[in-house]
C-alpha cells in the first residue's frame, strides 16, 4: 500500500505541471503570431484604423509622409494631401480612427501634394492640427486700426472738403482709429485731388476742393495716417482716350465684364509707362502721404479666361513661348506677371519717396471654408499673391479681404461662413504669407443679399481681424455711421 500511494503521488505531481506548460506554450505562440502580424502591417503601404472589424480610417501613404501624395479615406469621404501654396503642404493622416491634418513648411517647394525636399521644422503651433481647426502662426504686432472712407457718399449733405475732412478725422480719433484708407481716385469720376496728369480728370465736387489735401492736413494734425487707395489697371479716361490700351477678348473686342469698370492691358508698353507716371504724379504732389495702396488689381473678372488678348499681350507671350497656346498654363503665368509688374511699379515708386506701399485683394475661399491657394487665385483672376510677396522690393503691407457674409451669401452657407470664420481664414492667411510682409485683414459691415451682419457680428469679425496681425481695416465710415456701430468699432479697437 505505501508503495502504491507513492506511485500515485508521483503520477499526480507530473500531471500538476501539464497545465502551466500548456499556458506557457500558448503565450509563446501568441507572441509569435503578434510579431508576424506586426511585421506584415509594417510592410503595408496603407495605415488602417479599425474598430469592431469595421475600417474607420486609412492613409495611402502610410501616415505623415511629406514626400508622397497621400489620400486618407474615412467611410466614403476622401482627403487628399495638397499644397496650400508653393511652400505649405497640408498633410492628411489618420488619428484615433478619424482624419487629421498637419501644416508643413517645405524647405524647397510644395508640388502636387508633396514636399520636394526634406521639410524645414514647422513652427510648433502649426503642427498637429485636427480636422476643422486652425492655429495661428507668424503672429504680428498690431500697428494699424484702419477705416475706409469714400467722399462720394457725402454729396449734397452740406459739407465742404474741409468740413468733411474734419468730421472723418474726429470720428476716427473718437473711436481708436489710427489709419484712414481714402479712395483717392475713382476709376470713373476721377481724382479727389488736384492733378493735370494726362488721361485723368478731377472729380467735380470734393475733388476740385482738393479733398486729399484737406484730409491729410486734418489727419496729421491729430496723429492719424492717410493711405491713398488707387486703381491698378482700371481707368475710364485712359480707356476712352486710348482704345489700343484696352484689355481684349479672344475675338479682339473690348473686355467689358462689368458696368463702370474699364480694364487696360497690363502688358501694353504705353499703358505701363502711363501708369508709372500716374503714380509718380500722385506722390510727387503729395509727398506727405503715409502710404499708397494698389486697390484690387485684376485681369479676369469672372475667372473664365476671357482676358487678356490685347495684341501686345499676345505678341510678348509668343516671343517668350513660341510654341505656346493662348490660355495654357504658361499663358496664365504670363498674364499674372503683367499685373504683378504694375504692382512692382507702385511699390518701387513709393519706396523711392519713403512712402509705404500697400496691396489689397480678396482672398477667396473654397466651399469648405479653407482659403484657395495663391496659384488657384492667380490662374483664375490674374492676381498673384505669391508673385507680389516674392518681389525683391516687397509691399510693406498685404491686405486680404476676408468678408464672411460675402461667402455666406454666395455659397448660401452661414454654418461655415460666419463671424468666427474670420479667425480661421486669418490664421490661414498668416501661414500663407509666411512672414514675407506685414498682414492686414479687411472686414465689412456691408450686407450681401439677405446676409446683413448685426453690429455685434461686425464687432466680432473686426476683433478677429486685428488679433495676431499687423492691422485690421473695415468698410466703411458711412456704414458705421448709418448703423450706429461706432461703439462696436471703439470696443474692437480698444
How do the residues of the chain divide into helix, strand and coil, expressed in percent and rounded to 5?
Answer: 40, 20, 40
The span from the CA of 401 to the CA of 393, in Å, is 23
The span from the CA of 314 to the CA of 304, in Å, is 17
> Which grid cell sits at 160?
465742404
The pLDDT score that the predictor gives to residue 108 is: 76
Of 205, 209, 206, 341, which is closest to residue 279 (Cα–Cα)? 341
SS (H, E, C) 144-156: EEEEEECHHHHCC
> Which grid cell sits at 369?
471654408
Residues 6+ apart with CB under 8 A from 267: 308, 310, 312, 313, 316, 317, 338
The pLDDT score that the predictor gives to residue 35 is: 60
CB 367, CB 374: distance < 8 Å? no
Radius of gyration for the alpha carbons in the chain, expressed in angstroms and rounded? 31
Tell how strand 77-80 and strand 82-83 pair up: unpaired
Sign of the Cα pseudo-torsion (129, 383, 386, 181, in order): negative
Q: How many CB atoms lie within 10 A of CB 182?
A: 27
The alpha helices in 242-303, defined as continuous H runs, are 269-285
For the chain, list residues with pLDDT below 70. Answer: 1-24, 26, 30, 33-55, 117-137
CB 402, CB 441: distance < 8 Å? yes
The span from the CA of 112 to the CA of 490, in Å, is 45
The pLDDT score that the predictor gives to residue 134 is: 38
Of 301, 303, 295, 377, which is closest to residue 342 (Cα–Cα)? 295
> Which grid cell sits at 100?
487629421
> Which grid cell sits at 143?
500697428
Q: How many CA atoms lie within 13 A of 35 on its CB side?
A: 6
- Compute φ and ψ for 148, nearest 5 degrees: -85, 145
The pLDDT score that the predictor gives to residue 40 is: 44
The alpha helices in 221-296, defined as continuous H runs, are 236-241, 269-285
In a 3-state reduction of DSSP, which class is residue 207? coil
Residues 6+ apart with CB under 8 A from 202: 190, 191, 193, 194, 195, 208
The pLDDT score that the predictor gives to residue 19 is: 62
The pLDDT score that the predictor gives to residue 43 is: 41
Angle at 372 between CA 235 and CA 72, to 5 degrees: 170
pTM score of the predicted model: 0.76
The pLDDT score that the predictor gives to residue 51 is: 42
Residues 6+ apart with CB under 8 A from 264: 233, 234, 235, 238, 239, 245, 246, 247, 271
The span from the CA of 175 to the CA of 168, in Å, is 11
What is the DSSP code (8-state) at residue 362? Answer: E
Strands ordered across the beta sheet of 88-95: 82-83, 88-95, 98-105, 129-130
Amino acid at each position: 500500500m505505501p508503495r502504491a500511494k507513492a506511485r500515485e503521488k508521483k503520477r499526480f505531481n507530473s500531471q500538476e505541471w501539464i497545465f502551466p506548460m500548456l499556458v506557457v506554450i500558448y503565450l509563446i505562440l501568441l507572441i509569435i503570431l503578434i510579431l508576424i502580424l506586426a511585421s506584415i502591417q509594417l510592410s503595408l503601404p496603407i495605415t488602417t484604423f479599425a474598430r469592431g472589424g469595421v475600417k474607420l480610417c486609412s492613409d495611402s501613404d502610410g501616415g505623415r509622409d511629406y514626400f508622397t501624395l497621400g489620400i486618407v479615406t474615412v467611410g466614403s469621404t476622401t482627403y487628399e494631401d495638397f499644397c496650400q501654396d508653393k511652400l505649405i503642404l497640408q498633410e492628411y493622416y489618420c488619428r484615433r480612427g478619424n482624419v487629421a491634418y498637419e501644416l508643413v513648411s517645405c524647405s524647397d517647394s510644395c508640388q502636387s501634394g508633396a514636399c520636394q525636399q526634406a521639410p524645414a521644422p514647422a513652427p510648433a503651433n502649426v503642427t498637429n492640427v485636427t480636422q476643422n481647426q486652425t492655429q495661428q502662426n507668424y503672429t504680428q504686432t498690431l500697428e494699424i486700426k484702419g477705416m475706409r472712407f469714400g467722399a462720394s457718399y457725402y454729396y449734397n449733405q452740406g459739407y465742404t472738403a474741409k468740413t468733411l475732412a474734419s468730421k472723418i478725422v474726429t470720428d476716427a480719433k473718437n473711436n481708436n482709429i489710427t489709419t484712414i484708407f481714402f479712395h483717392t481716385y475713382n476709376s470713373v469720376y476721377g481724382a479727389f485731388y488736384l492733378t493735370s496728369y494726362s488721361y485723368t480728370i478731377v472729380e467735380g465736387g470734393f475733388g476740385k476742393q482738393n479733398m486729399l489735401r484737406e484730409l491729410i492736413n486734418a489727419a496729421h494734425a491729430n496723429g492719424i495716417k492717410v493711405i491713398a487707395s488707387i486703381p491698378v489697371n482700371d481707368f475710364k479716361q485712359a480707356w476712352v482716350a486710348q482704345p489700343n490700351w484696352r484689355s481684349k477678348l479672344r475675338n479682339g473686342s473690348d473686355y467689358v465684364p462689368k458696368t463702370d469698370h474699364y480694364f487696360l492691358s497690363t502688358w501694353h508698353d504705353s499703358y505701363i509707362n502711363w501708369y508709372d507716371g500716374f503714380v509718380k504724379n500722385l506722390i510727387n504732389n503729395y509727398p506727405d502721404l503715409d502710404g499708397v495702396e494698389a486697390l484690387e488689381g485684376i485681369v479676369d473678372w469672372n475667372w473664365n479666361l476671357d482676358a487678356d488678348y490685347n495684341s501686345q499681350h499676345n505678341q510678348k507671350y509668343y516671343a517668350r513661348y513660341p510654341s505656346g497656346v493662348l490660355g495654357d498654363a504658361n499663358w496664365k503665368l504670363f498674364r499674372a506677371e503683367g499685373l504683378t509688374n504694375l504692382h512692382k511699379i507702385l511699390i518701387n515708386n513709393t519706396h523711392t519717396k519713403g512712402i509705404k506701399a500697400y496691396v489689397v485683394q480678396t482672398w477667396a475661399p473654397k466651399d469648405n471654408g479653407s482659403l484657395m491657394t495663391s496659384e488657384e487665385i492667380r490662374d483664375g483672376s490674374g492676381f498673384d499673391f505669391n508673385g507680389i510677396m516674392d518681389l525683391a522690393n516687397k509691399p510693406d503691407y498685404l491686405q486680404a479681404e476676408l468678408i464672411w457674409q460675402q461667402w455666406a451669401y454666395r455659397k448660401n452657407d452661414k454654418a461655415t461662413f460666419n463671424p468666427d470664420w474670420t479667425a480661421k481664414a486669418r490664421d490661414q492667411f498668416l501661414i500663407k504669407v509666411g512672414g514675407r510682409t506685414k498682414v492686414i485683414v479687411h472686414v465689412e459691415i456691408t450686407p450681401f443679399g439677405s446676409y446683413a451682419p448685426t453690429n455685434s457680428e461686425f464687432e466680432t469679425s473686426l476683433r478677429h481681424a486685428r488679433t495676431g496681425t499687423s492691422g485690421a481695416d473695415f468698410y466703411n465710415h458711412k456704414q458705421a455711421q448709418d448703423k450706429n456701430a461706432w461703439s462696436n468699432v471703439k470696443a474692437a479697437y480698444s
